[in-house]
């Protein structure tokens, strides 16, 4: 399991806001292949991601839909839409929890239920649209870091979907390889695209957790893993990421619990509770980490 990857640049996400269905009017970086940021008024993907972290998925999708009316050819908008569907499904199936993450059978085996029962066509359709638009931009400019990050995002999300929902490990690993390739290319062009480290860090850590015989098999296939390096990469994204900065904190907190560093996990979760007070999941996980750290 690699968990979905998203985002570009290195800014802070605004704190969670009250539930509503009317998109906010605030500044959003206009997508430009030149890499130059131009602020324009309109619906905000920052707000949409903040809503996702507050478990307000309908509000997030309303914000994204309004954004796409203004920027209909922005692949990141469709990737955010795909993320909202996948994030919601993972939340419903308790993937982002210590109970899931600390249980090797679930952590390495996927969610309960059959692939047919869990199939998510809304995610698949939005993810494919994002991929097509990003590849079109990349065909015009091979050094378009935003297009590369979006492809890393779409392939990373599909890798997670294949692993956790479809339970197709070989297909998942193939998509993971593609995602990591795009992420590395993006980082080579833009060192501030720190959200790419969510993909790389998650992959390094989770593969590093596999039994030795499975890791040896993956090594032959060109897929490596390193738990220590993975944690360091997640820390970079948690410190300087943009859309995925809070998600990197979630991953880092859960990884810290697997490493029996419960005080560190509690600190990260406390920051998430403060930033997203409307999300009861963060409060629940914080209480678990604090109780375990106190033992």
- What is the per-residue DSSP string for 8-52? -SS-PPPPP----SSPP-EEEEEP-TT---EEEEE--HHHHHHHH
- All structural domains of the chain, each given as residue ranges with its CATH number in brackets, are 26-294 (1.25.40.10)
**What's the rounded mean pLDDT across residues 15-26?**
38
Residue with tokens 């996980």: 285
Provide the 8-state DSSP code for 55.
T
23 confidence band (pLDDT: 50, 70, 90): very low
**Residue 110 pLDDT:** 61
Distance separating the N- and C-terminal Cα atoms of the chain = 30
**What's the rounded mean pLDDT across residues 16-40?**
39
Does residue 60 register a pLDDT over 90?
A: yes
**What's the rounded mean pLDDT across residues 224-234?**
79
36 confidence band (pLDDT: 50, 70, 90): very low
Lookup: tokens for 201: 């860090």
**Residue 111 pLDDT:** 60
227 confidence band (pLDDT: 50, 70, 90): confident
**Residue 277 pLDDT:** 95
For residue 93, give the 3-state DSSP assignment: coil
The pLDDT tens digits for 206-226 are 777 765 655 555 554 555 567
Average pLDDT, the chain: 78
Which range (38-47, 252-261, 271-280) has the least confidence?
38-47
Which helix (H) or strand (E) segment is 134 a member of?
helix 121-140
Which range (122-131, 217-226, 257-266) has the least confidence?
217-226
* pTM for this predicted structure: 0.78
The pLDDT tens digits for 145-161 are 999 989 988 888 887 77
Q: What is the largest CA-CA distance in the chain?
A: 57
CA atoms within 13 A on the CB side of 153: 37
CB 206 within 8 A of CB 1: yes
**What's the rounded mean pLDDT across residues 27-49?**
57
Distance of CA 53 to the CA centre of its chain: 11
Alpha-carbon distance of 49 to 196, in angstroms, equals 16
The pLDDT tens digits for 167-191 are 666 666 777 778 888 988 999 999 8
Lookup: tokens for 132: 């097509």
Where helices occur in 162-261 by DSSP H, the ranges are 169-189, 196-208, 212-220, 227-240, 245-258
Alpha-carbon distance of 7 to 240, in angstroms, equals 12
105 confidence band (pLDDT: 50, 70, 90): confident
Lookup: tokens for 243: 């859309």
């Amino acid at each position: 399991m690699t968990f979905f990857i998203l985002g570009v640049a290195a800014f802070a996400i605004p704190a969670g806001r009250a539930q509503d269905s009317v998109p906010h009017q605030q500044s959003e970086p206009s997508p430009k292949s030149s890499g130059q940021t131009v602020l324009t008024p309109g619906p905000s993907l920052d707000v949409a991601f903040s809503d996702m972290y507050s478990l307000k998925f309908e509000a997030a999708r309303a914000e994204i839909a309004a954004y796409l009316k203004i920027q209909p050819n922005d692949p990141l908008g469709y990737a955010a839409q795909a993320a909202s569907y996948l994030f919601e499904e993972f939340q419903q199936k308790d993937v982002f929890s210590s109970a899931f993450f600390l249980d090797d059978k679930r952590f390495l085996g996927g969610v309960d239920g059959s692939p047919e029962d869990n199939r998510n066509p809304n995610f698949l359709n939005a993810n494919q649209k994002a991929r097509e638009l990003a590849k079109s931009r990349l065909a015009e400019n091979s050094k378009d870091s935003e297009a590369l990050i979006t492809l890393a995002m779409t392939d990373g999300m599909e890798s997670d979907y294949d692993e956790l929902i479809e339970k197709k490990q070989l297909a998942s690993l193939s998509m993971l390889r593609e995602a990591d390739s795009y992420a590395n290319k993006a980082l080579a062009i833009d060192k501030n695209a720190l959200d790419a480290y969510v993909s790389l860090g998650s992959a390094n850590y989770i593969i590093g957790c596999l039994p030795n015989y499975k890791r040896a098999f993956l090594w032959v296939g060109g897929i490596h893993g390193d738990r220590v390096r993975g944690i360091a990469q997640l820390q970079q994204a948690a410190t300087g990421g943009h859309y995925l900065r809070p998600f990197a904190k979630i991953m880092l907190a859960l990884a810290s619990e697997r490493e029996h560093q419960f005080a560190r996990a509690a600190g990260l979760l406390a920051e998430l509770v403060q930033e997203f007070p409307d999300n009861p999941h963060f409060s629940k996980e914080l209480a678990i980490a604090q109780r375990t750290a106190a033992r």
